Amino acid sequence: MDPEKFRERCKGVLTLVPTAFKKNYELDLESLREHVRYLVENRVTAVIPAGSTGEFSSMSEEEIKKVISATVDEVNGKTMVVAGTAHSGTHETIKLTKYAEDVGCDAAMIVTPYYFKEVEEGIFQHYKMIADSVDIAIMPYNNPWVTSGVIYSYRLVERFAKEIPNITALKDVTGNSAYVLELLRRVGKKIAILPYAETEHTMLCYLLGCPGTISLLSNIAPKESIELWKAAYLEKDAKKAMEILDKFEGFNRLMNRLIMEKGIPAYLHLIKHALTLLGRPCGLPMRPPAQPLRENEVEELRQALVRMGLM
């Protein structure tokens, strides 16, 4: 897909897809396909396999390729596919991104190099070398929580917009509404700024002009996630959006608490347990070293799902 066309289509809910594993931790591609069908049927804007939610860091290159190709095959052009192609090194990231383009992905989502903390010029050159190697859109992933505290400076994002034509979207996980507003002001006409998750911050970003979100909850509540986007982005109805968000409050509160207690992977624990509780594919298990929730945490999650009207 042409990168500019991709930017124009980044409106709505772009869903991070968990990877399905069997009890022996081998890939379960049939369950993955079933879940992708469910997301497509519920009209999400895009599916995103092999991202952090897809546990890419616990998979081999060959497994990542299998997940990406199975997703593209199952989608069959019915919605966009944005492949997670991140690696700690530029060379390996280029190889995966080329593969994603070759099998038909519309774009690639790539987190900042996440082992060594690189200087700004190194980050810029990382993305430029990747972008120069393919024709599809590139979506940098601004996540300080998994990249040694790296946050893209305004200058860096402006360079993306001016010097790398196929960077036409950006996933932002800072949770800083003032920062997002400034990004919109500086580059919003060239790069779709996409916040993460279904939260008050995301609602505000919709109201400010962010066209979509990189979504977790749409794995279990796609209808409600899309309704939130319509209320806040299309209708600019903050009251209606807050009423929808209220359904998510228990889940978000539990997620925030567990992240503070256990670290960032807690969000993945929650969504996989939720899928299992709802009898859906792509739930448990997670690959080690990820550990399951405790019994009391599972009960809190169950109550949150009841509040969302899912159980």
State the helix-helix crossing angle for 61-75 and 29-41, rounded to 10 degrees.
40
Is 247 a catalytic site residue?
A: no
CA 204 to chain centre: 18
* Catalytic-labelled residue, pool 171, 206, 233, 272: 171
Output the six-digit token pair for 135. 């024709």
- First vs last C-alpha separation in the chain: 38
Helix (H, G, I), strand (E, B) or coil at 224: helix
Strand order in the sheet with 212-215: 192-195, 169-172, 137-142, 107-111, 80-84, 46-48, 12-16, 212-215
**What element of type H or E holds 193?**
strand 192-195
Is 141 a catalytic site residue?
A: yes
Question: What is the rounded distance in angstroms from the CA atom of residue 24 to the CA atom of residue 79?
Answer: 31
* Catalytic-labelled residue, pool 99, 114, 141, 152: 141
**What element of type H or E holds 107?**
strand 107-111
Output the six-digit token pair for 160. 């993306």
Question: What is the rounded distance in angstroms from the CA atom of residue 223 to the CA atom of residue 219?
Answer: 10
| Residues annotated as catalytic (active site), given as ranges | 141, 171
